[in-house]
Structure 1
């Protein structure tokens, strides 16, 4: 397509509805080591493509009214991240002030774009114009803008024959599990027009994450230098204009075949490889095979893991907050290519299994002694690393605001780099879609790799 014009129709702040009591409901959320680990991360951004609503539904006002009710339930999103600098010792501390300040809401229009332009791009890559449908491009948790900005932001863009709802949220405040719980609630409120008190009662009060490591004093103080984003970020493979995006779909049949193959290649004791682990291993092997790395090169695979039920005592499954751990598998190119799918999947399986209560607590205790904040697009990002975020278990396609369920899901800018894979459920039950970020050179080879294409289809 030519240059896409995105016209901003309105910008507003949506606050929790009138039942939110700023004094009694105002909560201060102290941040754990794992929250603070994400201080330099950009806002995670996702978006859903919907059919066109009937103009008579006044869908923008309905979205904002229902969002106001949803923020009354998920009130941390309507708060602000506060930074306190302790000049006497050169440290800073952070907390979330649930002050009801509200969230950014942008209404935009891109009438030259049709659903088919998003779903069936001419070159097969995720179209470049899609980046302009997201509301928090470049916003980082610890930047000045991130601290004064809302902790979640929305952009609703009207297309020629559809609507795209893009959103970005601060990973310090919530992980994918908490975000989709909020989004599911918002869409349900909007669908039912449940803006009255009777409807609100059906939603239980929010359960905040109650976990904090014994023996760690809070607020945690970290060196101010660690909280500042370096002015000159290191550019690595795939973080420049060479980075391209493509979506690969594994049908339920593809997934079953890969899972069966992976489990068939390991011992009976190890036959517990999941669908996502099998698909992830398949992607990992194919990317490495097409990356022209030397056999001795050390390679890593990282997967975000929900820790709620892995802690002792376990947290409630629906508790709100950021409770993810990084499971990391490390091997060499030679070892990867000399072994099959089952072996690679088993490495992922083992590292997921290693995410235990003891490991998580050890990480937190050590982190406080020597704080280290990840820089998603900096030195930690390399051509040797594959990272999988999100989950095909999230309820993405059940979100109906009143004019139909989503047609597609897309990831937006933020924390993207070569080797980043974002896993979603497909539209059809049992399908898995992988939104893939790779350097153009690797993606070109991958897209013509007959062995790779045998078990999937390109969206």
Structure 2
């Protein structure tokens, strides 16, 4: 960990009881396995500094052990089974209590103001505050499924983490962080509900799912990386008024009493149109807005809304560049609206069945780093980020780490002010420069955080 952040210690934290539920094996669905070769997602919370007598590191470790007793899949590993009869492999989560990794680090020369730039830019040193070890989800066979890094700064603490996407999605991960923070603050795990695991809901699909050996092996480094343009991260802040104005504009342009564009759809369409405007694509070129769909309440019968696991998949709204730019905000938002509303239980089942029949191209990850024809929308402003008080105060900011960085990646968080949204955006440097000079874009957003 070269640079301004110095690693002090690295330990494995295991649950107090290694198998509290008796559950030892969790089979993986197509929604899980499609993530086999992408990076662990990375997120982090910035906190003020507690009093010296708080004993922060020891309290965080002790409460983490208790939290892992509830969220026991995070303390397991991915098990890989070779199916010699058809030259395939299968994977499942082995809840063996091996534990999560906990890094304690220091950045004594860095202050909160160094990380929270007034213009919303994310400094390069931020990468060192995450346990960014280039983990792919397939590496969970040997690596922890959850890695936490707590970094002490001049006047604050940063709690960064990465997690295996075969095991959990954002709903489950923020549920874990919320539980962990409550245990740390109270000193007790009593009163917390047992974990609700997802049921196997795909009748007609046999498990474990067999994957060709060639597709399961870790992908080599991409040859395109040496020629990929430099990307930069910037946080764009949408105030409650910004969002209301965009929503009103989108709905007035759609002009239908039967269709209501949501706040999130309006903000996403504004980002999509604004970024693609500077993509350099021809008007006939196709562009995608890739949206993460939570299937918990969409399958029939529906799953519990907070059941643990990875219950998402990515679906694209598609348009030509000319359509997207010429037909207005409302039209772009309507394409996202139609996509989201079309995701029924039948769609989810068809996606899974098609995936099992055609297990291929797993190594393409989240998309090409070179094309620049898409935006990928991750995370959610509905996640309860700012309630996570570990006992010395609530977070003052949230950030995404460097995993899966491609041009057009949008990570959405709630803003610290009620009703606002922050969008951490990864863009090629030239696209970002043009965006920051775009009067139409800036009319509905602020770069200040």
Which bracket does the TM-score occupy, shorter chain normalised? over 0.9
Deviation, 1:212, is 3.3
Instruction: Look up the SS of the partner of 2:185 in the other structure.
Output: helix
8 Å CA contact 1:137, 1:414 repeated in 2 = no
The answer to whether the aligner puts 1:435 opposite 2:424 as a matched pair is: yes
Question: What SS does the corresponding residue of 2:399 show, helix, strand or coil?
Answer: strand
Partner of 2:167: 173
After superposition, the Cα gap between the structure-2 partners of 1:7 and 1:99, relative to the gap in structure 1 and judged at 3 Å, is same
Aligned to 1:130: 126
Q: Which of 39, 42, 45 matches 1:42?
A: 39
Cα separation, partners in 2 of 1:381 and 1:326, compared to 1, 3 Å: farther
| Structure 2 match to 1:426 | 415
Q: Taking structure 1 as reference, are residues 232 and 52 closer, same or farther at Cα in structure 2, changes over 3 Å only?
A: closer
Partner of 1:304: 292
Residue 94 of structure 2 corresponds to residue 105 of structure 1: no
State the shift of 1:124 in Å: 5.4
Equivalences for residues 386-397 of structure 1 within 5 A: 386-397=375-386
Tell whether the 8 Å contact from 1:233 to 1:378 is kept in structure 2 after alignment.
no
Where does the alignment leave 5 or more consecutive residues of structure 2 unmatched? none
Counterpart in 1 of 2:263? 275
Instruction: Establish whether residue 313 from structure 1 lines up as the match of residue 293 from structure 2.
Output: no
Give the deviation of 1:338 after TM superposition.
1.2
> Could you tell me how far apart the structure 2 residues matched to 1:4 and 1:117 are?
15
Cα deviation code 1:160-194 (max 9, x no counterpart)? 10000000001110010011011101101111111
Cα deviation, 1:238-265, whole Å, max 9, x if unaligned, reads x845111101000011011111111111
Residues 109 and 236 from structure 1, CA distance in 2 versus in 1: closer, same or farther, beyond 3 angstroms? closer
Q: Secondary structure at the match of 2:137?
A: coil
| Equivalent residue, structure 1, for 2:158 | 164
Q: Give the SS at the match of 1:386.
A: strand
Match of 1:223 among 212, 236, 245: 212
Mapped contact 2:219–2:363 kept (Cα < 8 A): no
SS at match of 1:153: strand
What SS does the aligned partner of 2:138 have? Answer: coil
How far apart are the structure 2 equivalents of 1:98 and 1:382? 39
RMSD: 1.8
Q: Is the 8 A contact 1:233 1:377 kept in 2?
A: no
Partner Cα distance (2:24, 2:144) in 1: 16
CA distance in 1 between counterparts of 2:96 and 2:440 reads 54
Q: Distance in 2 between matches of 1:304 and 1:339?
A: 24
Instruction: Report 1:378-393 matches (<5 A).
Output: 379=368, 382-393=371-382
Paired with 1:410 and 1:381, the residues of 2 have a C-alpha distance of 24
> TM-score, normalised on structure 1?
0.94
TM-score by length of 2: 0.96
Counterparts of residues 14-29 of structure 1 (less than 5 Å): 14-17=13-16, 19-21=17-19, 25-29=22-26
| Alignment correspondent of 2:193 | 204
For 1:138-167, what per-residue CA distance to the aligned partner results, in whole angstroms no more than 9, with x for missing partners?
100113xx3211111100000110000000
Return the match for 2:183 from 167, 183, 189: 189
Measure the CA separation in 2 of the matches of 1:334 and 1:230.
35
Classify the secondary structure of the residue corresponding to 1:265: helix
CA contact (8 A) 2:209 2:356 kept: yes
Is the partner of 1:392 in helix, strand or coil? coil
One of 249, 253, 256 as aligned partner of 1:265: 253
Aligned-partner SS, 2:427: strand
Partner Cα separation in structure 2 for residue 78 and residue 207 of structure 1: 16
Selected match of 1:94 from 87, 91, 94 = 91
Q: Is the 8 A contact 1:4 1:113 kept in 2?
A: no
